[in-house]
Structure 1
């Protein structure tokens, strides 16, 4: 249509009676790149957590000796708890300095852990790994 054939009444009639704007409905099927990036990141994180394995298990004596060494030398540790979530993932490892050992419990980063709940622990080489 060119300008000589332009009819404002026809346009008004179309907009008033024939055209139905669906509003936001037309956008609901589209994902923005930000959304897909977050979904990809979450999916990769879920797959990583499901595939994560415990480190080599330790005996109670090995755990006690490692805790003692870490306390005496004031070295940070990384603790692998002997548990899994309902989804089957291993909870994140507890990392930090052992600030106390009381009977069957230790304190790492103000978190009290039962020694019986420790699957394994490793001494980190330096405090820079915290």
Structure 2
């Protein structure tokens, strides 16, 4: 078909009477691979079961945290907090940025009360 045979009235008729746009339905199969990977990872985290580690004494927890703070080593912290299904939350791996008598400061200036900590490992 060349430009002389192109008829605007035919195109207009086609879109008004023959073509039916499915809207967003046509995009439902076009997830990006990184989006699909993020959804799969989120689903795994929601369904993951975190095994409770042994409850450490407050003295042991503070000693491990003080050593990690002094050496600027990352620690893995398991909290006592559980979700609505009575499952433990994911561990927090972070550097200790500061502390006071009752809590520690981790990334993004988040405070964690010492009594809420179940286990610390380095």
Q: Which SS does the other structure have where 1:64 is aligned? A: helix
Give the Cα–Cα distance (whole angstroms) in 1 for the partners of residues 72 and 40 of structure 2: 38
1:70 to 46, 56, 68: 68
Gapped runs of 5+ residues in structure 1? 1-7, 124-130
Give the SS at the match of 2:69: helix
SS of residue paired to 2:97:
strand
Q: Is 1:112 aligned with 2:103?
A: no
Give the CA deviation at 1:86.
4.3
Tell me if structure 1 keeps the 8 A contact 2:74–2:93. no
1:24 CA displacement = 3.0
* Structure 2 unmatched ranges of 5 or more: 1-6
> Aligned-residue CA RMSD in angstroms?
3.4
1:22 corresponds to 2:38: no
Correspondence for 1:128: none
Which residue number corresponds to residue 42 of structure 2? 45
Q: 75-84 vs 32-41, which deviates more?
A: 32-41
What's 1:5 paired with?
none
**Cross-structure match for 2:55:** 58
1:83, 1:91 within 8 Å by CA — same for their partners in 2? no
Mark the structure with the bigger radius of gyration: 1
Pairing 1:82-97 to 2, within 5 Å after superposition: 82-86=80-84, 90-91=89-90, 93-96=92-95
> CA offsets, 1:37-90, max 9 Å, x none?
634641343124421414523322321221132234332212222223447572
Structure 2 CA distance for partners of 1:68 and 1:115, relative to 1, 3 Å: same
Partner of 1:100: 98
- TM-score by structure 1 length? 0.59
Number of aligned residues: 109
Q: Contact (CA 8 Å) 1:80, 1:121: kept in 2 or not? A: yes
